[in-house]
Amino acid sequence: MGRDISKTRFTEDDFAGFKEKLLEEYRILANWFQTGSLNKREDLCGFELEAWLINSNFLPSPNNEDFLSRIAHPLVVPELSQFNFEINSTPQHIQGTIFSFLENELQEVWRQCGENAKAVGSDILAIGILPTIRDNMLTLDHMTRISRYFALNDQVFRMREEQAIELDIQGRDHLHVAHQDVMLEAVTTSLQIHLQVSAENAVRFYNASQILSAPMVAVAANSPYLFGKDLWDETRIPVFEQAVHMDCYRDSAEEPLHRVTFGSGYAKETILEPFLENLELYPVLLPQVFDEPPELLSHLRLHNGTIWRWTRPLIGMDHDGTPHIRIEHRAPAAGPSLKGVIANIAFYVGLMSYYTRQEIPLEEQIPFDRAEENFYQAARNGLSAQIRWIDKKKRDMQNLMLEILIPAARKGLEQCGIADEDISSYIDEIIQNRVQTGQNGTGWQRSFIAAHGPDFQKLTEAYFHNQNKNLPVHEWEV
């Protein structure tokens, strides 16, 4: 969710004071890099899973306040809309049976969420975009009552000079709607994977994560429908990019930078480069000034949290106050099963392990513009996307995964010391079969609509029951 703030209205003094703090904290961060003060561990993994509250008619249920008050669980936190919440994991060392542990923890927290949701008249669901969400439900009346969100909405529209946000997506169908608030963002629910990395290797991990966003968004695609329209395989991507759209320009560039973005290029020398870009090119949205030691980087972290790259570097603090670097990978959709969520994490960790250990960095073989093109092709077309990999030739994503990427992920997990049973359970039994059948979440949803017609309530009901069986999506019947 990010840190809450105490104000929703800001003055010029707030912006000036915040920028001063931001500059001071950036200098502290730069000094930490120079002096080697950052934690050098790079074997920790965690995740955030966003989810929906739904009612008995499989429509969004705007009661996260009652739900969160009742569950009172440290790993369960609010999200932008009253329809949504988020589950966090506890970070784990990448070794042995980490993925079985993460699944067991998620299952237990999910069980508690389900029980507490039922107590307030709801159920829970993990899916990239809820098929039954309607445009008229996305109002400020359904925004979670947290100052940060209302301030974000006000500041976005201040920067847009009060112009409406337009969602214009051309997919299999065409969708064009306008909104006078940021609540369109609430329709997108994601899986966000976190890897702690050393400063020394952060550039390589960051660049590899950007390149691997293409296969990740394809294998995890679970968001074909919005407001009854069949759009991209992963419609979350254009929705989120357009939902808080504000252009920022470099002095010498015609192409604008966006707040939600694939990025503007690889990091070259240090992972400080994206933070410097944040400082120099992105206007501050939430200038809350904190009376806290500058070493906590409160202002830098708040500002970084308002720039949503699909792969984003983060600065965190260990329990003893030692700062560390994390790579946050935001491309995958939530769902479709809890076991499938963990399989997506295992696939990402395996790919990252394999490609960051190669002698020739992946970014030296795949230029940034090709990685960016691959990402949007994969978001549009999923496992049937045509992309260009290392050999520059156009390749079918499904075949690329079966021939190259799945074996690479398997090898990468072996290199990490992951137990054979975890590799078999999540890569061989889930990812391999999902890709071979071509039935990810999007594939199943489209097959269901093709068989039963455009009944999105019936689709969501069938999805809900399949998810509760915790079967891999390639085993779901239509």
- Give domain limits for the chain: 12-469
What's the mean pLDDT when you consider all of the chain?
A: 95
CA distances from 311 to 135, 331, 412 (A): 28, 7, 20
CB 274 within 8 A of CB 313: yes
Residues 180, 141 contacting (CB under 8 angstroms): no
Burial of 238 (0-12, 13-18, 19+ CB in 10 A): buried
Quickly count helices (H) and strands (E) in the chain. 17, 18
Which residue is associated with the tokens 């392990």? 353
Contact 73, 32 (CB under 8 A): no
How far out from the chain centre does Cα 332 lie?
6
Spatial CB neighbours of 111, under 8 Å, sequence gap ≥ 6: none
Does the pLDDT of residue 254 top 70, yes or no? no
Cβ-Cβ contacts under 8 Å for 30 (sequence gap 6 or more): 272
More confident residue, 391 or 59: 59
The model scores a pTM over 0.95: yes
- Give the CATH number of domain 12-469; options: 2.60.40.10, 3.30.590.20, 3.20.20.80, 3.40.190.10: 3.30.590.20
Instruction: Using CA atoms of 182, 185, 186, 190 in order, give the dihedral in degrees to the nearest 10.
Output: -160
The confidence band for 257, taking pLDDT boundaries of 50, 70 and 90, is confident
CB burial class (10 A; 0-12, 13-18, 19+) of residue 129? buried
312 band by pLDDT with thresholds 50, 70 and 90: very high
Residue 359 carries which side chain, given as an amino acid letter?
E
Please tell me the predicted confidence (pLDDT) of residue 41: 85
pLDDT at 6: 84
Best CA proximity match to 353, nearest among 399, 406, 408? 408
- Partners of residue 327 on adjacent β-strands: 195, 313
Smallest CA-to-CA distance from 209 within 362, 333, 314 is with: 362
- Residue 321 phi/psi, 5-degree rounding, is 90, 0
- Mean pLDDT, rounded, for 38-54: 95
